[in-house]
Chain A
Amino acid sequence: MTAISSNSNTEDVIVIENLNKWYGNFHVLRDINLRVKKGERIVICGPSGSGKSTMIRCINRLEEFQEGSLVVDGVEMIEDVKNIETIRKDVGMVFQHFNLFPHLTILENLTLGPIWVQKKPKAEAEEIAMKYLERVKIPDQANKYPGQLSGGQQQRVAIARSLCMNPNIMLFDEPTSALDPEMIKEVLDVMIELAQEGMTMLCVTHEMGFAKKVADRVIFMDGGEIVEENEPEAFFSNPQVDRTQQFLEQILNH
């Protein structure tokens, strides 16, 4: 199989080949091909309904797909509980609506994964959690509940929660779209810092400033397919496809 042979290239941590997905009879993802190298930062943009969220949700199997192959860190995604678990442990995800667990404190949100998945002692898990809370600059909120935090703080906690699992790849699904404007920066700062440390990142976002600053590649999707991908410089200054240009005009003029 092609999927297995591509494993030999250890540089590529994510290999997506001919991925197709349907919701019922609706063809949401059409022949997606994407390779992501270790440490690469990729920004995915596109109009709503273009399939960008669905694509990155396939990478940790929150969505199933019907055709094609997907290999994450040398593990092929097949219908096997163990495989899916291995991949999920390796891939962190940050959601648009944070999805913190409201019945647990911030610290408990962070230690849940290390304790129950990585089977770490509580003290060690808390130590890791505090380390990441300090990195996202809210160690003083550790014993509060998510409902007591602002949106920006919650999203930083959500990033820290993923980092506690020590993932190799981070997926961001519109992490700033549900935030008030003045809180976007605090979240983007954390993401930029993470990018500078060499984390492999796939971000679905419309923050074009962020894309210009950190992305190695920008991908534009529409109608369930990848329309154009390029380095940010070229992508923004010289789009190759009319649809891309049209989209950029719309979002940059606002």
Chain B
Amino acid sequence: MFNEKTIEEVKSANRKASSDATSTAFYNNPRIRGLFYQVALVAGLLYFFVTVIGNTLDNMEATGIKTGFAFLDAAAGYDVLMSLISFESTDTYARIFVVGFLNTILVSVIGIFFATLFGFIFGVAYFSHNWLIRKLAVVYVEIFRNIPLLLQVFFWYFAVLSSLPSARQSLSLGEAVFLNVRGLYFPKLVGGDLAWVVWTVLALAIGGVFYLRRWAKKRQEITGEQFPVLKASLALIIFAPLMAAALTGFPFTVDYPALKGFNYFGGVTVIPELMALSIALSVYTGAFIAEAVRAGIQSIPRGQTEAARSLGLRENKIMSLIIVPQAMRVIVPLLNSEYQSLVKNSTLAAAIGYPDLFNVFVGTALNQTGQAIETIFMTIIVYFIVNMVISFLMNRFNSAVSLVSR
């Protein structure tokens, strides 16, 4: 048994030991150890960067590569296959950067739209009543997510699109849409003098839909009556501009693509590079999104549906009030990362020559100027920013669909 004195002795001995620790066994103090590790890491990193930068400068001097961003104002001297803004080979590298950026955004937006569409269709198809459709969803997902994206891009570009008929034997849909080895052509609406009326009506109709939703919700809160918002909104968006067009005497001309010489001119042209890349990106990412959608729906316990049924809710209301809001909490974070990888994967444009940012800048501009560091980092930063924007938007969307913290 201890008495008071012995405990006091032990305590004082401990105190002594701990004060000694700072002088004799300082390396056993966790805080000092931590500091040491961190200092060592800093020193290592510093040494690494100093050596790398020194070597780089030496090497660049030896090979005569310029540094800095002066090259951006120089004329690029090469043309691009496709541009959303006007571009000529006398334009600067800065402009070609913008051209590439816009092309990247274009293919990403198309890819994200169709990937989401495919993903949700096949993700929901997992739960179809029809056995064949269920199996179709499985087959789609397992085939397309297990084949490298690059192979799929090549497959569409070299095996499918390049075996399409030549311009003279184009496949056509109602003599308005044409598909041949040079691309996809469809008619364009060219607005006349009064076209602004129709566009304004369309904008008003879209605004009207939001108003309609608010009104329908208000009305239901007060009277309890429900209003078919979806059908009414569709009708509004379709018929209001049509009415406006009819009243103003259809102020549009349609610019049909027409065969002149060896190719089609007029209308809108989608080059095969864009088509192949968009198809491959949407089909590939769609398979991953389908998995995400399936996981989201499966994460909801059966009891939720049963409880909703026992309240007498209809199947479509169970879907929109119970299943979707809960599934979205699982799906949206996964969508976020899939969208980001789609944007990163769009750099595969380089493989088939679609002029996206990566291709025109890290590909061609780097090759011509030799300024690897500047071009690569300018490009990388753009991808970082685009992905941060996606992340920001998806997080906003996520907090909108899942207000619940639990």
Contact = CB atoms under 8 A, between A and B. Distances in A.
21 contacts: A60-B310, A62-B310, A85-B312, A92-B310, A95-B303, A95-B307, A97-B303, A99-B303, A99-B306, A101-B322, A102-B404, A103-B326, A113-B312, A117-B313, A118-B224, A119-B224, A121-B222, A122-B221, A124-B224, A145-B404, A162-B311
A101 B304 contact: yes
Interface in A111-131: 112-113, 115-125
A85 B314 contact: yes
Interface in A55-71: 60-62
B220 A103 contact: no
B402 interface: yes
Contacts of A30: none
A88 interface: yes
B405 interface: yes
B222 A62 contact: no
Interface of B: 220-226, 301, 303-304, 306-314, 317, 321-322, 325-326, 329, 402-406
Report the 6 A-B pairs with minimum CB-CB distance, sorted nearest first: A99-B307, A122-B221, A99-B303, A93-B310, A113-B311, A88-B312
A91 B220 contact: no
A14 interface: no
Contact of A121 (B221, B303, B308, B405): B221
A89 interface: yes
B321 A112 contact: yes
A204 B303 CA distance: 17
Nearest to A62: B306
A123 B223 CA distance: 9
A162 B307 CA distance: 9
A47 interface: no
A187 interface: no
A103 B312 contact: no
A92 B224 CA distance: 21
Interface in A183-218: none
A165 interface: yes
A147 interface: yes
A147 B405 CA distance: 9
A123 B221 contact: yes
A95 B329 CA distance: 24
Given A101-B304, A101-B322, A121 B310 contact: no
Chain A CB within 10 Å, residue with most, of B223, B306, B307, B325: B307
Contact of A120 (B224, B311, B329, B405): B224
Given A119-B225, A121-B223, A145-B405, A99 B304 contact: yes
A3 B309 CA distance: 25
Interface centre among A92, A103, A161 (most CB of B within 10 A): A103
A89 B402 contact: no
A102 B304 CA distance: 9
A99 B402 CA distance: 18
Given A103-B326, A121-B221, A113 B313 contact: yes
Given A91-B310, A99-B307, 9 more contacts: A62-B310, A97-B301, A99-B304, A112-B311, A117-B312, A121-B220, A122-B222, A124-B224, A125-B224
Contacts of B406: 102, 145, 147-148
Which secondary structure characterizes the binding site on chain B?
A: helix
B224 A121 contact: yes
A159 to B, nearest CB: 12
Given A85-B312, A165-B312, A103 B402 contact: yes
Given A95-B303, A121-B223, A103 B325 contact: yes
B308 to A, nearest CB: 8
Nearest to A87: B312
Given A116-B317, A121-B222, A88 B309 contact: yes
Contacts of B225: 119
A89 B317 CA distance: 15
A99 B403 CA distance: 19
Contacts of A124: 224
A98 to B, nearest CB: 8
Given A97-B303, A123-B221, A117 B226 contact: no
Contact of B220 (A60, A62, A99, A122): A122
A154 to B, nearest CB: 12
Contacts of A88: 309-312
Nearest to A88: B312
Contacts of A62: 306, 309-310
B289 to A, nearest CB: 22
A125 B220 CA distance: 11
Contacts of B220: 115, 121-122
A25 B322 CA distance: 33
A95 B224 contact: no
Nearest to B320: A116
Most interface-central of B220, B225, B301 (chain A CB within 10 A): B220
B309 to A, nearest CB: 6
Contacts of A165: 311-312
A168 to B, nearest CB: 13
B224 A89 contact: no
A1 to B, nearest CB: 26
B401 to A, nearest CB: 9
A122 B313 CA distance: 17
Nearest to B307: A99
A93 B306 CA distance: 10
A61 B308 CA distance: 13
A60 B220 CA distance: 28
A125 B222 CA distance: 10
B405 A89 contact: no
Contacts of B313: 112-113, 116-117
Contacts of B221: 121-123
Contacts of A104: 404
A92 to B, nearest CB: 7
Nearest to A147: B406
A155 to B, nearest CB: 12
Contacts of B312: 85, 88-89, 113, 117, 165
